[in-house]
Structure 1
């Protein structure tokens, strides 16, 4: 198959989208597919990447984040799709680029991959304290109508978690399929647990080895709710010794550091770019604590589960799916009190036996891409290529 991915949030500066797309390009080439990424850029360019092609189309910068650009020339995007005559067109954002693809007159199979969950990231977070999800959905009916329009124009709406898939189906989208993502092969394992490393990390939290070590990993931004995690952990720590190590980077780091002032048991650290080192840290902690209910999959949750790490996660969003893979706790999304109680219950039940390696089913990114391409092939093989 020839697959063209219209990827509005691809940027050469890095990030999760770039990492995912490069893995996807390599997986497509290995499976014998031809894959092209169309992305907004400073100018027109064509670059061979991992056996595929990344093409940028001249586009303006986003006002709120100058690292990114956005498609604003629908006619040019349509011309590029006409030139490449794809068997499958993917679009990786439910915003204007998806509407542009929906209006394209080609006959290729079309797929919208839900790499973003705007309602959870914004609407539910902003108004969840004063209104129910159902009430918020009614208030954002215009966006739901937009999603249903896109869903009707696509052959597939691909979700990485059952939670998001169920919510979209409840909202009236009918072509929804769940294709979970996976972890980097061979990287994460309970066998990497290191007692000395655990003691070292607890020492950074000014605690002894008898304490519980909670690990939080992710971007320092408002939707990740790290402030709530900090408050809940400090409150739970009033009755038991609990250390929290946060690993990440982002615009709210200084605010988080100020929030933990006076509590030596919470450390707001920088990112760990060495993936092997990160895998060692994951396997050596006692639990992963996650605050965000807007994850479409939650890669860090999958990595923690593959590391044999119990997970304390909200009861909505992609992170919730990973709690079933190992011992852990759900708590009510957005509630610091519920999270405090979940942490306290987890600590009270500790120490728990570590999960045997043989009991952990580890889904890899290779598994994800194989299933995704097979889903497209079942619809596409034998169809004439788009005119």
Structure 2
């Protein structure tokens, strides 16, 4: 049986886009009979969970990072080698770029030397976590040098890999420019049946509007950190209230290092609410469909699953001026681009969008999101797996 093994230290039970990617991928392969997917999940203990002939989850005990994160990190041979020896995969995918790719490569060379090695560029880390933050603190030239070093590090980690998958055209272009192996575009998907304007809950709408039908309502279910723009949103609230002439309702969901600041704002402002981590997809869809607009403020998303889910729910968006947010908002015509990363600029962008033809932008958002589906994503990806595996002499053999 053609077998795929996935390793990813970016998995988190309370994560966002990466978690959704793996959940949808598992759902796809759980229905398969001729192909098997094994997801290696960093966990609190080690055990095997067999979902079907097409899907197995190997829970591997791994170190958990302290704090408000739920990420675990695996890198040891004893965490990797038993999986490769057990399944002898045709394809191995590594979804995180730190240490794990080279560890998997070394062990795979000994256990399954002919396996095709893939990565998925879930985080554009040389830009997101290295180049831009360092440039902001130490200047542009130091930031540019740091980004080059980070891409050099990525090339070392993914040395001898067969393919790097990217879900953003902008990110794929950077991968090509910086010499990463055979970048391919794999756009991700969106569950357009679950995330739909039909999930609008009028009782929730009325609760959030709180007696004022003109009150602006926003849902922010992103990781609570500055990368996602949490500092901009919190900093813009008083400015926004003044410009709108009323207190907007902002619903925060999720977690992250800035969670205490969100909780502080919820205690201070009547119409700022923190609802915790929403584990139910149906509940997420209900909130998305019951607000006026969404915010996509990270300029470093490689696809932005939450962006598509918000758009599929019929939300106009304020989008960052770079990355997947810029791609989605610009190509759809369903929102406004943030001109500067300041609270003042965000307040201006929200007010501009609020006073535009929101109905038209909501329709455009839904129409754009309908172009993407998870089934198409994983069919396209599976074809890529087979293409490169066959080039390496690994034939696809049905049972």
The alignment's TM-score, normalised by the length of structure 1, stands at 0.85
Q: CA deviation at 1:48?
A: 0.8
Which residue of structure 1 aligns with residue 136 of structure 2? 129
Segments of structure 2 that go 5 or more residues without pairing to the other structure are: none
Matches within 5 A, 1:1-387: 1-10=2-11, 13=13, 15-16=15-16, 17-31=18-32, 32-42=34-44, 44-50=46-52, 51-62=54-65, 67-74=70-77, 77-78=80-81, 80-103=83-106, 104-105=108-109, 106-124=113-131, 126-130=133-137, 135-195=142-202, 197-203=204-210, 208-240=212-244, 241=246, 243-250=248-255, 251-259=257-265, 263-323=269-329, 324-332=331-339, 334-353=341-360, 354-355=362-363, 361-381=370-390, 383-385=392-394
CA-to-partner distance for each residue in 1:175-199, whole Å, 9 max, x for gaps?
A: 1112121122510122334555423
Kept in 2, the 8 Å contact 1:214–1:242? The answer is: no
Kept in 1, the 8 Å contact 2:5–2:93? The answer is: yes
Q: How many positions carry a matched residue from both structures? A: 382
CA-to-partner distance for each residue in 1:223-246, whole Å, 9 max, x for gaps?
A: 322121122243133222351322
What is the DSSP-based 3-state SS (H/G/I as helix, E as strand, rest coil) of the residue aligned with 2:189? coil
Q: CA deviation at 1:90?
A: 0.5
User: Judging changes above 3 Å, is the alpha-carbon distance between structure 1 residues 340 and 123 closer, same or farther for their aligned structure 2 residues?
Assistant: farther
Question: What is the RMSD of the two structures over their aligned residues, measured on CA atoms?
Answer: 3.1
What is the DSSP-based 3-state SS (H/G/I as helix, E as strand, rest coil) of the residue aligned with 1:129? helix
2-structure distance, mates of 1:196, 1:292: 31
Segments of structure 1 that go 5 or more residues without pairing to the other structure are: none
1-structure distance, mates of 2:44, 2:62: 6
2-structure distance, mates of 1:79, 1:128: 42
CA-to-partner distance for each residue in 1:128-168, whole Å, 9 max, x for gaps?
A: 53467675131243321121234442111111222322332
Q: CA deviation at 1:327?
A: 1.6
